[in-house]
C-alpha cells in the first residue's frame, strides 16, 4: 500500500481509503452486517489503514459497524475520517437548510444541512460513541450550510482540535470561495469532492487552489458508484430502492460503455479489473491525496487495495486520456 501525507498535517493516510457509505445500507439497497464488517477487516489486512464514513451513512449504522470492526485493534494504526452537518433526527428543531428527503423502511425522512457550533460539538460526541474511540483523525463538514456563518463552523472545529477530540479538520463539497473564507479562521487539511474519469470539473479550480495552498483533496465516487466497473452493462441489476437507478441517468451510457471497452484490454494485460485500473488512474492525477473506494464485502475490499500495485505507463495514460477527451 502507498501512504500519503494529507495536506499540511502529519496524517499519513492510505492512498486507497475504505469508503463506508454503502455499508450503511441506506440509499444502496441494504447490506449484510457480516459482509460489511468483513470488508473492513479485509481492508485493514491489505494495508488500507484509513476509513471514511459519516453519521448519515445508515443513520449511524456505518459508524457503529466500524466501531465494532476495529474493536481490540491498534487504534494508532487506523485513521478514522468522519463528518458532521447532516441532521435527520429532528434535533435541529427546524433550523438549518433543508437538503432532501431520505427514504428509510418506506418512510420519507427530511434531512437538513446544519453546521451551527453547538450541533458540531453534539455530533462529534455521538460519532465518538458510535466509533468506540476517544478521537477522530479527520473531521469533515459534510455539505455546506448556507444558514450558518462559515466562521462559526470553523470556530467549532478549532475548539475540538484544542480539546483533542479531533486531530485535524477538513470540509467536503466546498467551492474555492468557501475554502478561502474558511481559511481566514482555520487552516483546513482537506476538501473532499466528487471526482472521476467522467466528472473532472475540479481540475479547473479546486486542483490549482489545492496545489497553491497545500490543501489535500480527498476524492469520492471515483467509480461513479459502480458505473465504471462495467458490470452494470452486463449482468447486474439494481434493487428498486437503489439510488443509482436515477444517478446513472445523468451519463451518456452508450459513450461510457464504448470507453470501457477501449480501456478494458489495458486492464486485462495487467491481470487487473476495470475497477482497479480506474482507481489507479485516479491516484495518479495532480493534487489528489487519497481516493475513497467503497466495498460491501471482503472480496471488493481486497480488489480495491490491490489497485495500488498496478503500473500504468505514460503511453497507456495517453490512450486513456485521449479517450476521455471525447466526452
| β-sheet bridge partners, residue 293 | 18
pLDDT digits (tens, 9 = 90+) for 37-83: 999 999 999 999 999 999 999 899 999 999 999 999 999 999 999 99
pLDDT digits (tens, 9 = 90+) for 225-241: 888 988 877 766 666 66
Position 30 pLDDT exceeds 60: no
In the chain, the domains with their CATH numbers are: 3-81+126-324 (3.20.20.100)
**What SS3 class is residue 219?**
strand
Name the band, by pLDDT with cuts 50, 70 and 90, for residue 28: very low
Are the CB atoms for 218 and 298 separated by under 8 Å? no
C-alpha cell at 228: 465504471
Query: Is 46 tagged catalytic?
Result: no
Which of 8-22, 236-250, 310-324 has the lowest average pLDDT?
236-250
Sequence-ordered alpha helix ranges (H) in 110-149: 117-131
- Average pLDDT taken over every residue of the chain: 92
Sign of the CA dihedral running 105, 55, 69, 44: positive
Bigger pLDDT: 236 vs 322: 322
pTM, 2 dp: 0.92
Across residues 106-126, what is the average pLDDT? 94
| β-sheet bridge partners, residue 269 | none
Beta strands in 184-238 (DSSP E): 190-194, 216-220
Name the band, by pLDDT with cuts 50, 70 and 90, for residue 29: very low
Pairing of strands 79-84, 50-52: parallel
DSSP state of 215: -
Are the CB atoms for 253 and 205 separated by under 8 Å? no
Of 57, 174, 220, 232, which is the active-site residue? 57
Percent helix / strand / coil, the chain, rounded to 5: 45, 20, 35
Amino acid at each position: 500500500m502507498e501512504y500519503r501525507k494529507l495536506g499540511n498535517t502529519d496524517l499519513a493516510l492510505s492512498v486507497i481509503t475504505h469508503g463506508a457509505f454503502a455499508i450503511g445500507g441506506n440509499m444502496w439497497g441494504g447490506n449484510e452486517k457480516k459482509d460489511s464488517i468483513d470488508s473492513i477487516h479485509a481492508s485493514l489486512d491489505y494495508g488500507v489503514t484509513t476509513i471514511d464514513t459519516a453519521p448519515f451513512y445508515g443513520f449511524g449504522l456505518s459508524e457503529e459497524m466500524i466501531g465494532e470492526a476495529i474493536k481490540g485493534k491498534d487504534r494508532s494504526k487506523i485513521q478514522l475520517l468522519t463528518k458532521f452537518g447532516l441532521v435527520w433526527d429532528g434535533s435541529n428543531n427546524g433550523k438549518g437548510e433543508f437538503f432532501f428527503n431520505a427514504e428509510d423502511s418506506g418512510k420519507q425522512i427530511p434531512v437538513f444541512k446544519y453546521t451551527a457550533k453547538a450541533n458540531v460539538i453534539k455530533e462529534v460526541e455521538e460519532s465518538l460513541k458510535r466509533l468506540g474511540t476517544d478521537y477522530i483523525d479527520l473531521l469533515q463538514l459534510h455539505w455546506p450550510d448556507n444558514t450558518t456563518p462559515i466562521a462559526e463552523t470553523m470556530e467549532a472545529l478549532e475548539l475540538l482540535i484544542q480539546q483533542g477530540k479531533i486531530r485535524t479538520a477538513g470540509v467536503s463539497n466546498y467551492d474555492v470561495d468557501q475554502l478561502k473564507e474558511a481559511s481566514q479562521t482555520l487552516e483546513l487539511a482537506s476538501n473532499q469532492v466528487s471526482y472521476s474519469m467522467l466528472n473532472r470539473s475540479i481540475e479547473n479550480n479546486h486542483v490549482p487552489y489545492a496545489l497553491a495552498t497545500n490543501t489535500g483533496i480527498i476524492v469520492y465516487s471515483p467509480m461513479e458508484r459502480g458505473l465504471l466497473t462495467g458490470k452494470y452493462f452486463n449482468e447486474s441489476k439494481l434493487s428498486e430502492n437503489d439510488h443509482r437507478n436515477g444517478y446513472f441517468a445523468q451519463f451518456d451510457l452508450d459513450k461510457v460503455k464504448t470507453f470501457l471497452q477501449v480501456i478494458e484490454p489495458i486492464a486485462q494485460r495487467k491481470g487487473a479489473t476495470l475497477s482497479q485500473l480506474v482507481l489507479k488512474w485516479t491516484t495518479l492525477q495532480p493534487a489528489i491525496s487519497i481516493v475513497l473506494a467503497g466495498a460491501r464485502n471482503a472480496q471488493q475490499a481486497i480488489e480495491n487495495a490491490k489497485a495500488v500495485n498496478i503500473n500504468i505507463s505514460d503511453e497507456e495514460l495517453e490512450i486513456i486520456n485521449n479517450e476521455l477527451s471525447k466526452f
